[in-house]
Chain A
């Protein structure tokens, strides 16, 4: 499991989990789950296009992901965000379908772009992923306060000079960058579960943003590491385990919230009965 050819997989998956944990916290906080689903899918179309014209896949991924983010941000200004996101998503996927229909790319390639192929990471793929990862984390750190402000109380943010529309644009681009580097590793469809499940679970346990981000990263790391290990043993696709474990962590978080609530109610009733006697 820790043989030489697996080292790359562990390294890249760890970077991916850290990014997904940090960026995902804001995705959940802002309620941009749909955009976080649409952008990786758009990036997938870019990868298909890049392989058609024969350039580096990472370029295609990046260009299409950023285009999708800017398109959603620009068109979503007036109209409803979810309608625009849905339309951007289908346009990107339709382009992907055209690219695929014109190439002779064979099935496993497509499958791995959609569902990820963490075991096939080459050494020279690690550096771009790490660089983009550092850029994403740095962007989040720089934007940390205004981002939280405009996510939680957009009106107060506006009054303090934080344009929530510009913030949305910038944030979607960060999501796009985070996506572009992670799609080849965990796949277009599963980076999404990693950006939703662990952060949502983390928010069930704590309301303090820094703590929630750390917890979200920890859960994402645990999810990815466990997924690789089980996938290595069973030979089943890693995507399945990432999806299942993310949903599981969310379920545990919800159960914890429910349990806390019933316990407080029970304590309150107990204390009132005590007071009455």
Chain B
């Protein structure tokens, strides 16, 4: 056991906080992410992390809690994308790109102003890359509360959302308020991404949103199972990643921790590549699994 768990792993406070925050975020991201992948909105999901970052750096500059900056940035960004969004997928990507470009410009300005005025070194790197180990334990309850809100929205809209993700026309014909449902879903996405990019950084936010969900949709086509599988694989990637990052301190003579985001991302990526393997693909196809593409065959 000592070879797997280096001394102090179970008693380290930072590890506890990292595991708690990482798991909460992984569950929420997995649930929301299944819809993100199905609707082909990975770009929006990733962009919201950067947009939230811009909000966070703005909050950093004026000296209020970055939390509000991240959440407000995400929500405003999601609203802007919906507002200028065109119905066709290409137009949607363009709208996302414009919002993203403007937000990055703002982030550049905020970061520049905060580094020149307050001389806080490391601000840009911390905001961009974040670190699950530097999460303050007081953010855990806040992350938990917002996660409950986010899951509540998903519980409320998941049935009409599923229908309108599969076929917008059919949903509209059945009397589903398609725009409202899409807006509520974007709100949930913005909350999930804003929180996760605050807690664990923009890279991990995207990785946990898209990766586990894409893996899950490769393995099963039932939406409930897909959500559960996404949450489960996200949580396991986080826990194993935290463990490896903790152990990495002893790997080289320089005694520097490798970034935990690296391990989590690599685990998720390997998992995704594994679903490309021929025998996994035939096994799931025999059971009736399908590509997540178009999402037309997804059942309730």
Contacts and interface: CB of A to CB of B under 8 A. Distances in A.
A82 to B, nearest CB: 4
B97 A95 contact: no
Interface in B67-91: 84, 89-90
Interface centre among B105, B122, B207, B254, by most chain A C-beta atoms within 10 angstroms, is: B105
A189 B122 contact: no
B contact patch SS:
helix
29 contacts: A33-B43, A33-B93, A34-B42, A34-B93, A34-B97, A80-B42, A82-B40, A83-B37, A83-B214, A86-B42, A86-B46, A90-B204, A91-B269, A93-B203, A94-B265, A97-B129, A101-B257, A107-B121, A107-B122, A107-B124, A111-B115, A114-B128, A189-B107, A189-B108, A193-B102, A196-B94, A239-B105, A239-B108, A244-B105
Contacts of A87: 207, 210-211, 214, 268-269, 272
Nearest to B116: A235
Given A37-B47, A86-B45, 13 more contacts: A31-B89, A31-B93, A80-B42, A83-B292, A87-B214, A87-B268, A89-B46, A90-B203, A94-B203, A94-B266, A197-B98, A244-B106, A247-B101
A134 to B, nearest CB: 26
Shortest 8 CB-CB contacts between residues of A and residues of B: A243-B105, A193-B101, A31-B90, A239-B108, A33-B97, A240-B109, A94-B265, A247-B102
Interface string A89-120: 11101110110111000010011001100000
B258 A98 contact: yes
A100 B125 contact: yes
A236 B109 contact: yes
A95 B105 contact: no
A198 to B, nearest CB: 11
Interface residues of B, number: 60
Interface in A45-97: 75, 78-80, 82-83, 85-87, 89-91, 93-95, 97
A33 B97 CA distance: 6
Interface residues of A, number: 51
Given A83-B37, A86-B42, A111-B111, A196 B98 contact: yes
B86 to A, nearest CB: 10
Interface string B98-142: 101111111111011101000001101100110000000000000
A86 B213 CA distance: 12
B119 to A, nearest CB: 11
Interface centre among A82, A189, A200, by most chain B C-beta atoms within 10 angstroms, is: A82
B289 interface: no
Nearest to B294: A80
Contact of B262 (A95, A114, A244, A250): A95
A190 B113 CA distance: 18
A193 B105 contact: yes
Contacts of A237: 108-109, 112
B53 to A, nearest CB: 10
B293 A250 contact: no
A91 B271 CA distance: 13
Contact of A192 (B100, B268, B291): B100
A171 interface: no
Contacts of B129: 93, 97, 100
Contacts of A80: 37, 40, 42, 214, 291-293
B214 A97 contact: no
A90 B206 contact: yes
B149 interface: no
A97 B108 contact: no
A178 B79 CA distance: 32
Interface in B223-277: 254, 256-259, 261-262, 264-266, 268-269, 272, 276
B96 interface: yes
B55 to A, nearest CB: 15
A89 B206 contact: yes
Contacts of B108: 114-115, 187, 189-190, 237, 239-240, 243
A236 B272 CA distance: 42
B261 to A, nearest CB: 5
Nearest to A254: B84
B291 A79 contact: yes
Contacts of B113: 236
Contacts of A98: 258-259, 262
A114 B115 CA distance: 15
Contacts of B210: 83, 86-87, 90
Nearest to B125: A110
Given A80-B292, A90-B203, A192-B97, A97 B109 contact: no
B124 A240 contact: no
